[in-house]
Amino acid sequence: MVRVERKWRTFPGRNRFYCDGRIMMAHHTGIFCLTVGLIVLTCGLFFAFDCRYLAIHITPVIPAVAAVLFVFVMATLFRTSFSDPGVIPRASSDEAADIERHIEVPNGTHSTTCRPPPRTKEVVVNGQSVKLKYCFTCKIFRPPRASHCSICDNCVDRFDHHCPWVGNCVGRRNYRYFYLFIVSLAFLCVFVFSCVITHLVLLSRDGTFVDAVRASPASVVEGVICFFSVWSILGLAGFHTYLTTSNQTTNEDIKGSFTAKRGQDNFNPYNHGSVCINCLSVVCGPVPPSLVDRRDRKSVV
């Protein structure tokens, strides 16, 4: 019996889909929920117990700035988490068979009992030779900068890394939103921490610091969360700013893809030679359409 189903229901990767395929996430989303919970909890306490006092005694601009930062952080987080990061569709049976026919097996061996050695092709990108690796799972030659995510079981274009904190892979289609998320989160964390300390200091003017803590215990909770979070967030924001200015990915930086090897010159062919142009190309460049038509229909036997 043949039935018609949405493609996301038979998607071969390890992903979860919501809202009839409109939202695409990794299979495990527990840490993502923790991320949302920590941000909402901290900002909720801040708006409830600190903003009123600071607006009256300092300036009403403080709640407005906090609200703008909070909305921007949550918007970029959800945009990163709920979108297709740049998944490359797997080859169909006919396409895979055609690719296999054109691949030369090393030493002329045709064993069916063991996998042949890794197979590659070389292309030239801006004068630099780049290897295209064959993916045995997706049955395709991965494009330059693409990699296979072992967690989601997909090849992702311009793969940066799999981030459990956002519950998704980070790739070509959502990296800019991920970068904006961590940078804005760093600003929000520093802003809230500064305001909390200011609130406690102002309260302690009429007594001791212990009295201030007793008067606003929620401020202590916010301060502790921000203090232990801000260092890793600032470090992550700084690292990805470095990657953005040099037009690299986390995957390329960790593997040392563009470092000199065995005395041979090796340079980044994607570097535009300018920090500003690199940033603009990453943050403001066009977002390619999704290659995974997950809401289309197909016949299933």
pLDDT tens profile 228-283: 999 999 999 999 999 999 999 999 999 887 776 655 667 889 999 899 999 999 99
| Cβ pair 66, 185 in contact under 8 A | no
Q: 193, 228, 209: which is closest to 69 by C-alpha? A: 193
- At 276 the pLDDT is 94
Residue ranges in the chain modelled with pLDDT below 50? 107, 117
Helix, strand, coil proportions of the chain in percent (round to 5)? 50, 15, 35
96, two tokens: 């895979």
Q: pTM to 2 decimals?
A: 0.90
**For the chain, how long is the longest CA-to-CA vector?**
86
- At 36 the pLDDT is 97
- Using CB atoms within 10 Å of the CB of residue 278, give its burial: 0 to 12 exposed, 13 to 18 middle, 19+ buried: buried
d(CA 107, CA 243): 40
| Cβ pair 129, 122 in contact under 8 A | yes
Catalytic residues: 163
- At 18 the pLDDT is 93
- At 107 the pLDDT is 45
Long-range pairs for 59-63: beta carbons < 8 A, 24 or more residues apart = 62/195
Contacts of 25 (CB under 8 A, 6+ apart): 15, 16, 17, 18, 32, 81, 82, 167, 168
